[in-house]
Amino acid sequence: MPPTSLDEIARAIASGLNCEHSAFCLQLLQLLANGQPVPPEQLATTLNISRDQVNTIPRQLTDIEYDREGNIVASGLSLIPTSHHFHLNGHALYTWCALDALSYPYILQQPAHVESSCPVRATKNSLNLTPESIESLEPASAVVSFVIPEKAKTCCNVRNTFCCYVHFLSSFEAAATWRSQHQEAIILPVEESYHVACMIARYRYGETLSKL
Cite the active site residues.
97, 100, 163
* 3-class secondary-structure state, position 147: coil
